[in-house]
Amino acid sequence: MTNYRSRLVAVFFALLATLSMGVTAAEAVTATSASPAVAAQNACGNLSGFGHTTLSALPAEATTTYNLIQKGGPFPYPQNDGVVFDNREGILPSCASGYYHEYTVPTPGSSNRGTRRIVTGSGGEYFYTGDHYATFKVIDISGGGTTHACGDLSGLTKIGYSQLSAAAKKVVDNVRGGATSSTTYENREGVLPACASGYYKLFNVGTNDRVISGKAGELAYTPDHYVTFKRIDLNS
């Protein structure tokens, strides 16, 4: 009888030990899975691990912003463009304060700066974020940023004539009919291809939108007072 009780006690303690080990192991697994891996931040100038893109693969406004960066402006948001980007998210390589600067890539139709930016590094790096600093891609500048010849609007996003407002269509029709009630557009923003002074003519549409015509017959439309431009396609 005593031996039987001893065996029961031994089995009981063995079960307790097994359960205890199981709980400990489960806690260890849970603790491990609950601790996310923290990606190490690259050293300054180290672009390994980043996705790459080209200007030609990004929205047309990115090329416009890049060209303005090369010229030193004027920028659509002078209070915000060219300011130091502090890299608080820790996604870009870790560099000294003041190494990075950011520039707005305008979003057509947006009433504010939107979520698109180009961030430059003092070492010649260019990064693009389309989601307000959540993710970044390295811009391979050799793959875009071509300066278009005078009269070539192929670098602009297209807008069909049928998509224009009635007022804008009327202005376009008048321009094509030889309207002369215009002023010279000097292209100070540098968004349109560089041409000789007096090449572009400006026609008002509404409060902020304009139609720009070139001497070669090309037509551009800006809906936001020269922040962005679109090439008018008369056949669509």
148 a catalytic residue: no
Can you give the chain as a three-state secondary structure string? CHHHHHHHHHHHHHHHHHHHHHHHHHHHHHHHHHCCCCCCCCECCCCCCCEEEEHHHCCHHHHHHHHHHHHCCCCCCCCCCCEECCCCCCCCCECCCCCEEEEECCCCCCCCCCCCEEEEECCCCEEEECCCCCCCEEEEHHHCCCCCCCCCCCCCEEEEHHHCCHHHHHHHHHHHCCCCCCEEECCCCCCCCCCCCCCEEEEECCCCCEEEEECCCCEEEECCCCCCCEEEECCC
132 is catalytic: yes
Spot the catalytic one: 61, 102, 125, 218: 102
User: Which residue is catalytic, options 27, 89, 132, 225?
Assistant: 132
Active-site residue set: 102, 132
